[in-house]
Structure 1
Amino acid sequence: MPADNGLLTHARQKLRSFGGYTAWKCRMKNTSMQPQFSQELRSAIEERIRRYPALSEAYTDFGEEVRKFNALPIGFDMDTIFFVKPNGEILAWDLPSDEPRPVTSLWLQLVLLRLGAIHFPELIEALPRRPDGAPSCSACGGRGFVDNRSPMGGGSADWPCWPCGTMGWHDGEPLYP
């Protein structure tokens, strides 16, 4: 193994601090923030899957995968398509792999459900309700999104807030430091 000379360690620290990588690996303890899928929501997802793509205005090109995974596509990021199953499990299908993998990061689950609700409004029901006394997220001012526009112009105005996972609040500890 080649000598490190500090460069490899520095590169690993930079990679670990990079948002996407860390958020993906992030495991949270905030139990009041777990998504909840009622029987009504499960039935609504099953109906969307059964009638896919008729009830899906977005993500209509995944008929084979919808049937194979028994899951509804709710979002994408680069080479990954995200699906939600009727039981509430969220899957990440990395192209070109054959099988999806479960999304275990609570942070990513919350973000995907909140963004997925743009096209599938019933998903908002799965998001946790803000408990009495839960502090607003100081990073986003309680909005759940931050302004990501560049001072030079460009960029998206609404970007998911890392500390609260788009909830606008947290139950004591930020979801993502």
Structure 2
Amino acid sequence: LATGGAPRPQVKEGIGPQLPRPNRVRVPTRRELASYGIKLPSQRIAEEKAREAERNQYETGVQLTDEEIDAMHQDELARQFAQSQQHRYGETYQHDTQQAEDDDTAAEAELARQFAASQQQRYSGEQPAGAQPFSLDDLDFSPMKVLVDEGPHEPLFTPGVMPESTPVQQPVAPQP
């Protein structure tokens, strides 16, 4: 049954045209990564070894406790974080935020004062003749109060009395 030229149905080919594969991903060089501020693991390890050597030179005469070592490690991490933030946002990042907040609050206060002055000017004009001043009684109305009468009165609807009807009984037929 196997014919040489017949297509084999077990092999499933893709439907549609065969498109070219996308270009391979280009891996950035060490120099490009360094320009983005990314350090390779080998560079990190070398920096850590240099720091350890520096600490060992400093610690040759002095023995440190675990708390002091942890404190130094935390200080180093804080310094690295501050350096990365400075590298990312620049020198004036932390100072600008406080100054910007102060400027924003001052501008907001000025706008509020200007708005209050414009509203005062708009609504403080003379009342037209015949206009009455506002009172709390103006707000003390309700359409429900007009419709609801709390006094005693006859009911609006009462069900009528229906005469009781006796149920109709079916005559029982004698069974043969």
**TM-score class normalised by the smaller sequence:** under 0.3
More strand by percentage: 1
Q: Which has the larger radius of gyration?
A: 2
Q: Which has the higher contact order (CA 8 A, sep 6+)?
A: 1
More helix by percentage: 2
TM-score, normalised via structure 2 length: 0.18
